[in-house]
Structure 1
Amino acid sequence: MIYGQTQRKFISIFNSIKQTLNFSSLTFKRSTKRSTQKRSNRARKPPQNPHPFLTKLKEIQNPDLSLQFFHEYYQNTSLKPDYPSYTALIYKLARSRHFQPIQTLLDQIKEEDLPCKETLFIALIQHYGKGNLPNKAIELFFRIPSFNCTRTLQSFNFLLNVLVKNDRLSDAIGIFRRDSEMGFRPNSISFNIIINGHCEKGDWKEACKVFDEMLERKVQPSVVSYNVLIGFLSKKGELGKAMDLLEDMIVKGNKPNAVTYAILMEGLCLEGKYDAARKMMFDMEYRGCKPRVLNFGVLMNDCAKRGKIEEARDWVLEMKRRRYKPDVVTYNILINYMCLEGRANEAYKVLVEMQVEGCEPNSATYRMMVDGFCRVREFDKALRVLSAMLASNHGPRVETFNCLVVGLCECGKVSDACLVLEEMEKRKMGLDLEGWKGFVRAVCGRDGGVVGLVDELISMDSNCA
């Protein structure tokens, strides 16, 4: 990625080109769902007047503008910000990873002694985790009581999970060991998080120790507890031990669920035992566990991975025949492997099919589809899918943007490339070196030492750094 002076210089070049050619921004219509209202003879409460600030805030997409609107709104009225206004703005900023202003807003909430709900802090702990800021999550957790709010085991468990996901198992264990000090009695969720952390580290002995401690402290293991351990053994290829643990689980009164069997089926597939995995899916019903979509997905994924796309599609038909509704993960399996095999147009038909069936694509669906069309150099179709993706409020990765810009430039579609660049600029994303080279070369032509100019700018930026 290019930062500093280089990025600003390229943006300046881009803005000049945009003004010269008079390109317009990408605009997308958002699809709206019609909702029907059931008639009722019961008396209804009169509708409450909508909160004017919240109504306007929902319309603002840019987090910086949201913060600006918040200050302007309450400066121009005689009102004081209330708790719903603070939380709505904080959620919007956190989703956009704009964490710096959040601290100030929290300080204002604390200063005004507004009663707070723990859900606000749980959401922030999760967002800090997604933003790779585990220290912020820890700090906020310990500050919860100072906000006129009761801290419960729920926020305790969310913090443990964030720390484990951010590869901070030792910190998670340290906080876990302070449970009684904070007045908590860990439940199965607390133990499962720590057990899972040890399994992710590959430390089977420590995971078993925590499981034994769970039993010693009279905390009943859940099906999730067993699933974590069975999953570890299955991935390690120790299916015999995994099956023994399954039987032990049943003997101790814990009923396996569809996830348990999906884990074992996946383990069998990893060992090349597809037929055994297929048999297990049908056998699980005899044990009183009805298969779910994810069980079909395991078999589909294995077929597709081995290049048997048509057999994977047959499983979708089998699901429908048995009155299961394929979910987005199911369709994504087909789309992913079709695109990897260069069958982007067939994958697009699957995308249309899933929408007709009432299954909404997610970010991964669109991303795979854009990348798939780029792979076969059908950049016009990739751009159309990108438009649908943005209209659905899904965001592409920077790699997808880069690939599309380079491809459009190579095809001479500079105006379309500029539109994509505008979207990148809105998301504070930058092209990589090859992307900028391709863009400048497409705009300025191959004469005049364009590549040399780009290299010189990069060199200047490196020197300044």
Structure 2
Amino acid sequence: MESVLARMKNNQVKPDLITYNLLIDSYGKKQQFDKMEQVFKSLLSSKEKPSLPTFNSMILNYGKARLKDKAENVFQNMTDMGYTPSFVTHESLIYMYGLCACVSKAVEVFDGLIESKVPIKVSTLNAMLDVYCLNGLPHEADSLFTKARSIKIFPDASTYKLLYKAYTKANSKELLDKLLKHMDKDGVIPNKRFFLDALGVIGSSKENLGSANAGTVSNSPQKFAKTQLET
């Protein structure tokens, strides 16, 4: 990537915003943050101007590396430069806080969107639900799911998939049964892939279930999912 950028400069071809954004995102995904920051500085010193995707990418990639302060600094710089956050920006912030185990901060961002009265996309709801799922808070996820309809945010397939994984991982048959009733009421029919994804989560967390559950497999959500899959 560096050689391509150097060659462009040697050939007097000026990188455009797309090129800068691709480099920033690529370095960020590889967690090569020194290089990412160098490219961002080059962008600022060029005739091009950063776009919202520039900042969103940096926030998200810092979040994946649990670098909360750096992600917050990017957001602060963005607003100081006069940019208005998009729904993707807010989702990036929410998910970043979830990855950094700062659930209250994620809630603060989400609640701020609700109070602002702007239409909230289901993808933003899913980002907040994912925060609860990542941090082992299935009951909080269930409460938000119940509240969502009252604020006119309606679930999609990703919503149900997130919750199903969270509830099976938490080994909560009560929440799982409640979710399946919601799905039935909404006319959502789980397919084989849906259950396979959930079973994958169950398999990865099997060691954490403990020997105490060994005699109650028939009553567990895992068994229920397996039965549904085979029918």
TM-score normalised over the length of structure 1: 0.39
Query: Displacement, 1:139?
Result: 2.3
Tell me the residue number matched to 2:212: none
Does structure 2 retain, via aligned residues, the 8 Å contact 1:293–1:326? no
Q: Deviations over 1:418-442 (max 9, x none)?
A: xxxxxxxxxxxxxxxxxxxxxxxxx
After superposition, the Cα gap between the structure-2 partners of 1:309 and 1:232, relative to the gap in structure 1 and judged at 3 Å, is: same
Q: How does 1:246-265 map to 2 (within 5 A)?
A: 246-251=110-115, 255-265=119-129
Change in 2 beyond 3 A, CA 1:289/1:152: farther
Aligned position for 2:32: 168
Deviation at 1:170, TM superposition (A): 1.4
Alpha-carbon distance in structure 2 between the residues aligned to 1:338 and 1:270: 14
Letter in structure 2 aligned against 1:187: S
1:154 aligned onto 2:18: yes
Deviation at residue 144 of structure 1 after TM alignment: 5.4
Match of 1:302? Answer: 166
Q: Is the 8 A contact 1:233 1:241 kept in 2?
A: yes
Q: Tell whether the 8 Å contact from 2:106 to 2:131 is kept in structure 1 after alignment.
A: no
- The 1:331/1:139 distance shift into structure 2, 3 A limit, reads farther
1:279 shift after superposition:
2.2
Q: Bigger CA drift: 206-215 or 257-266?
A: 257-266
State the number of aligned residues: 214
Give the drift of 1:201.
Answer: 3.4
Q: CA deviation at 1:339?
A: 5.1
Match of 2:58 in 1: 194
Displacement of 1:336 in angstroms is 1.3
Closer/same/farther in 2, CA of residues 162 and 324 from structure 1, 3 Å limit: farther
Higher relative helix content: 2
Whole-Å separation in 2 of the counterparts to 1:142 and 1:262: 40
* TM-fit CA distance, 1:142: 4.7
Q: Deviations over 1:10-41 (max 9, x none)?
A: xxxxxxxxxxxxxxxxxxxxxxxxxxxxxxxx
Could you say if the C-alpha distance between residues 255 and 142 of structure 1 is closer, same or farther in structure 2, counting changes exceeding 3 Å?
Answer: farther
Corresponding position of 2:151: 287
Alignment of 1:322 with 2:196, yes or no, is: no
CA–CA distance in structure 2, aligned partners of residues 138 and 324 of structure 1: 48
1:176 Cα offset (Å): 1.0
The 5-angstrom pairing of residues 111-150 of structure 1 reads 137-143=1-7
1:229, CA displacement in angstroms? 2.1
Match of 1:124 in 2: none
Given that 1:173 and 1:194 are in contact with CA atoms closer than 8 Å, whether structure 2 keeps it comes out as no
SS at match of 1:206: helix
Q: Which amino acid aligns with 1:301?
A: K
Deviation at 1:300? 0.9
Partners of 2:10 and 2:197 in 1: CA distance: 47
Write the distance in 2 (CA, Å) between the matches of 1:322 and 1:310.
19
C-alpha distance in 2, partners of 1:202/1:165? 13
Mapped to 1, the partners of 2:14 and 2:146 lie a distance apart of: 48
Contact 2:66 2:99 in 1 (8 A): no
Number of the residue aligned with 1:203: 67
Spell out, residue by residue over 1:226-248, the C-alpha distance to the aligned partner (whole angstroms, 9 max, x if none).
22222233344433332222233
Contact 2:62–2:70, Cα closer than 8 Å, also in 1: yes
Partners of 1:304 and 1:333 within 8 A in 2: no
Structure 1, unpaired ranges of 5+? 1-136, 354-465
* Structure-2 residue corresponding to 1:331: 195
- Scaled by the length of structure 2, the TM-score of the pair is 0.72
Amino acid at match of 1:281: F
Q: Percent identity?
A: 15
Q: Is the 8 A contact 1:230 1:245 kept in 2?
A: yes
* Contact 2:142/2:175, CA 8 A, preserved across alignment: no
Shift of 1:290: 1.6
Structure 2: stretches of 5+ with no match in the other structure: 207-216
Give the whole-Å Cα distance in 1 for the aligned partners of 2:8 and 2:79: 31
Report the CA distance between 1:194 and its aligned residue. Answer: 1.5
SS in 1 for 2:104: helix
2:169·2:202 contact (CA, 8 Å) conserved in 1? Answer: no
Deviation at 1:323?
Answer: 3.3
Task: Output the CA distance in 2 between the equivalents of 1:213 and 1:275.
Answer: 35
Structure 1 residues 407-462: Cα deviation after superposition (integer angstroms, max 9, x where no partner): xxxxxxxxxxxxxxxxxxxxxxxxxxxxxxxxxxxxxxxxxxxxxxxxxxxxxxxx
Alpha-carbon distance change, 164 to 338 in structure 1, aligned in 2, over 3 angstroms: closer
Decide whether the 8 Å contact of 2:43 with 2:49 is kept in 1.
Answer: yes
**Aligned ranges for residues 234-273 of structure 1 at < 5 Å?**
234-251=98-115, 255-269=119-133, 273=137
8 Å Cα contact 2:63/2:97 also seen in 1:
no
Q: Offset at 1:286?
A: 2.0
Q: Distance in 2 between matches of 1:306 and 1:322?
A: 24
Tell me which amino acid in the other structure corresponds to 1:240: S
Cα distance in 2 for partners of 1:180, 1:158 equals 15
Counterpart Cα distance in 2 of 1:139 and 1:302: 44
Deviations along 1:34-86, one digit per CA (max 9) or x if unpaired, are xxxxxxxxxxxxxxxxxxxxxxxxxxxxxxxxxxxxxxxxxxxxxxxxxxxxx
Contact 1:144 1:150 in 2 (8 A): yes
The code of the aligned residue for 2:41 comes to: R
